[in-house]
Amino acid sequence: MKTFDHVNVLGLLGLTFDADKNPLVVIPFMANGDLKTYLVKKKQTLATSLLMRFASHAALGMSYLAQHKFVHRDLAARNCMVDSDLLVKIADFGLSRDMHESDYYTSGDAQAKLPIKWMAPESMERRVYNARTDVVRN
């Protein structure tokens, strides 16, 4: 995350440790929280143009990740954050993979917990993950 530098991808400010030596990630404050909660809370007052802008922000962020050979694997409104200027940023890289070594990631652990409901069919069938499985349902 520390190398990400895109307006629609949540960056890393730093890393610190709590009293028990557990790592804590420091990220920018996102005044409007996650996109899913924001959409539910404001659903009666959101203009179509704003919803399209949110979708565009998410697409730009995912395009940036793909260009940098990162696969998110869990893009969802709950994993996007909204700042005070209503700018959407891709976040939650818990399932992301660095793709610099190859063009795809294959899960060797058949027991791994993955977001099955939202996964591309080829990811479920062959446990293959790449930039296309992040955004394109083949």
List residues with catalytic annotation.
Answer: 74
CA 63 to chain centre: 11
Please give the DSSP secondary-structure letter assigned to residue 73: S
**Residue partners of 138: CB distance under 8 A and separation at least 6:** 120, 121, 122, 132
d(CA 136, CA 70): 15
β partners of residue 90: 9, 80
Where would I find the H helices in the chain?
35-42, 48-67, 121-126, 131-135
d(CA 40, CA 42): 6
